[in-house]
């Protein structure tokens, strides 16, 4: 019974965190698709949708509205694939992404584009919630050194350091 209550409490905590974050994100006025770094990811998602190519986005400096861009991997694949998934589920968001990319390439004015980013804001709230829950759970899953035995503590920390170093990207390990 206690375990069931513990699971229910964790689910309620997660839903509460999601509700708070989603409310905070959705209360802010939406930004246009050309603000910040959105054009980078939207252009990769556009290329996946229209050309079936995972490109380097706006970095390759070509008009993807008229030609298929070359394959590339300047950006990580997760976020563009999330955008593609949302465009497959929500036609209005797909039209917004298409319009944003076409406006970026001068095919239409920015003012023609609907600023409809609600689905992505919900995904951001979900990802932030998962991050909060991971941090909240970290003390529970932290590896603990053995209680007895000389030398075993050093071995434990060496293994933990090796595990962490394999999970971090090269730039994070080198300090760059």
Question: 147-167: per-residue pLDDT in tens?
Answer: 555 555 555 454 554 444 444
pLDDT above 90: residue 32:
no
Of 51-60, 98-107, 133-142, 144-153, the range with the lowest mean pLDDT is 144-153
pTM over cut 0.75: no
Distance CA 1, CA 122 (A): 33
Residue 149: the pLDDT is 53
Half-sphere exposure (Cβ direction) of 121: Cα atoms closer than 13 Å: 19
DSSP assigned state of 62: -
Residues 6+ apart with CB under 8 A from 100: 32, 33, 34, 38, 39, 42, 113
Distance CA 116, CA 83 (A): 13
pLDDT above 60: residue 4:
yes
pLDDT above 70: residue 34:
no
């Amino acid at each position: 019974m206690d375990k069931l209550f513990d699971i229910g409490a964790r689910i309620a905590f997660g839903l509460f965190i999601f509700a708070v974050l989603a409310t905070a994100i959705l209360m802010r006025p939406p930004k246009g698709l050309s603000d910040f770094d959105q054009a980078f990811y939207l252009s990769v998602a556009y290329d996946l949708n229209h050309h079936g190519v995972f490109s380097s986005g706006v970095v390759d400096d070509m008009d993807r509205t008229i030609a298929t861009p070359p394959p590339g991997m300047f950006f990580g694949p997760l976020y563009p694939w999330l955008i593609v998934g949302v465009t497959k589920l929500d036609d209005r968001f797909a039209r917004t992404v298409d319009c944003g990319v076409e406006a970026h390439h001068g095919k239409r004015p920015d003012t023609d584009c609907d600023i409809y980013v609600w689905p992505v804001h919900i995904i951001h709230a979900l990802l932030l919630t998962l991050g909060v829950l991971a941090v909240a759970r970290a003390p529970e899953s932290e590896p603990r050194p053995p209680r007895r035995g000389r030398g075993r503590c050093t071995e434990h920390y060496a293994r933990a350091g090796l595990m962490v170093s394999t999970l971090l990207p090269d730039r994070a390990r080198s300090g760059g």
